[in-house]
């Protein structure tokens, strides 16, 4: 598959340039894709950001040299892109749990981050239902949080908080909607360190003023690939199990086999009740895309 070949080509480029100054743009270029799409794809498939992977590979090789040669710490630090021994020592200890000088001693445990290898895996999963939508730009209002690592643990805690402290009701009230109407989730401001912002909110009515405790976000007009996902009620502890699988399949299956790539802009999770008992809802995952 072409996408897998290009991802592997990017990994080859990283390995060939671990001693050189390389940026995410360079690595994405080796995969013949945009920096924005490559970062999203790489993180979704591996669990690492691109910069984390490069750093971990450099520090793995640095540890091997420290343990297996009589090379000086300062020389190895410079070889792997660190301007000072102090910066190298801090990064090294965060990964390996020991200082570079300790790594030179016998019987010291070091961590090894292996080179990535992408493979095609045929699982026989069910088909993915999606549609393409041309969306006009609009504004939304809501409450935001910074997601640092695990969206599937940090977001449920955030959602529970705004349900309990009245923020969920406030947002619906400002939008002129019933208080039990489900809000949408907006992912945006993706950073190279893997952090992003997540806003729970809804479309901002024309002329409506946003309370100062809420955030106003502009959604640009663009093309979205929209995927369906049946999920459980918002206060169920298993909420997110189905949608997590949909997100995984989008990057592991749909993007590699489609002619589209992700473009800059918020990703959206839209939730709707499926019955009057409010015991089940459907979620749509909206991802901004463009033809390659």
Q: Give 71-121 pLDDT, tens digit per residue.
A: 899 999 999 999 899 999 999 999 999 999 999 887 888 988 888 877 655
Burial per residue of 167-179, b for 16 or more beta-carbon CB atoms within 10 angstroms, e otherwise:
bbbbbbebbebee
Q: Give 258-281 pLDDT, tens digit per residue.
A: 889 999 999 999 998 887 776 678
DSSP state for residue 37 in the 8-state scheme: H
Helix and strand totals (H; E) in the chain: 11, 9
Among 1.10.357.10, 1.10.10.10, 3.30.1330.10, 1.10.10.60, name the CATH number for the domain at 2-103.
1.10.10.60
**CA distances (Å), 168 to each of 144, 146, 212, in order?**
12, 18, 15
At the topology level, CATH places domain 130-291 in Multidrug-efflux Transporter 1 Regulator Bmrr; Chain A (3.20.80)
Residue 289 exposure: Cα atoms within 13 Å on the Cβ side:
22
Residue pair 54/18 in contact (Cβ under 8 Å)? The answer is: yes
Parallel, antiparallel, or unpaired: how do β-strands 130-135 and 215-219 relate?
Answer: unpaired
3-state secondary structure of 15: helix
Burial per residue of 42-54, b for 16 or more beta-carbon CB atoms within 10 angstroms, e otherwise:
bbebeebbbebbb
Say if 2-103 and 130-291 have the same CATH topology: no
- CA angle 245/46/122 to nearest 5° reads 60
Q: Per-domain residue ranges for the chain? A: 2-103, 130-291
Closest listed residue to residue 89, CA positions, set 71, 104, 73 = 73
Closest listed residue to residue 188, CA positions, set 222, 227, 229 = 222
Q: What is the pLDDT of residue 234?
A: 46
Global pTM? 0.79
Tokens of 99: 């200082």
Tokens of 219: 């959604």
Q: What is the pLDDT of residue 243?
A: 83
Beta strands in the chain (DSSP E): 130-135, 138-147, 184-188, 196-203, 215-219, 222-232, 260-262, 267-273, 280-291
The residue ranges of the chain whose pLDDT is under 50 are 233-239
DSSP state for residue 213 in the 8-state scheme: T
Q: What is the pLDDT of residue 230?
A: 65
């Amino acid at each position: 598959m072409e996408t897998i070949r290009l991802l592997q080509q990017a990994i080859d480029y990283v390995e060939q340039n671990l001693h050189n100054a390389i940026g995410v743009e360079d690595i994405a270029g080796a995969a013949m894709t945009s920096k924005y799409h490559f970062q999203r794809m790489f993180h979704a498939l591996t669990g690492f950001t691109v910069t984390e992977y490069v750093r971990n590979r450099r520090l793995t090789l640095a540890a091997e040299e420290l343990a297996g040669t009589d090379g000086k710490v300062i020389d190895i630090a410079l070889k792997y892109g660190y301007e000072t021994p102090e910066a190298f020592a801090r990064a090294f200890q965060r990964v390996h749990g020991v200082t570079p000088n300790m790594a030179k001693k016998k019987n010291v445990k070091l961590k090894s981050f292996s080179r990535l290898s992408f493979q095609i895996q045929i699982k026989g999963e069910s088909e993915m239902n999606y549609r393409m939508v041309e969306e006009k730009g609009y504004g939304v209002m809501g409450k935001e949080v910074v997601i640092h690592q695990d969206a599937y643990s940090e977001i449920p805690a955030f959602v529970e908080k705004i349900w309990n402290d009245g923020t969920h009701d406030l947002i619906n009230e400002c939008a002129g909607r019933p208080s039990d109407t489900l809000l949408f989730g907006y992912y945006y401001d993706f950073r190279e360190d893997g952090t992003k912002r997540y806003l729970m909110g809804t479309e901002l009515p024309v002329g409506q003023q946003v309370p100062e405790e809420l955030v106003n976000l502009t959604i640009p007009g663009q093309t979205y690939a929209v995927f369906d996902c049946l999920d459980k009620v918002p206060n169920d502890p298993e909420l997110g199990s189905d949608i997590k699988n949909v997100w995984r399949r989008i990057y592991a299956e749909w993007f590699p086999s489609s002619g589209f790539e992700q473009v800059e802009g918020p990703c959206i999770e839209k939730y709707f009740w499926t019955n009057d008992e409010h015991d089940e809802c459907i979620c749509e995952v909206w991802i901004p895309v463009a033809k390659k």
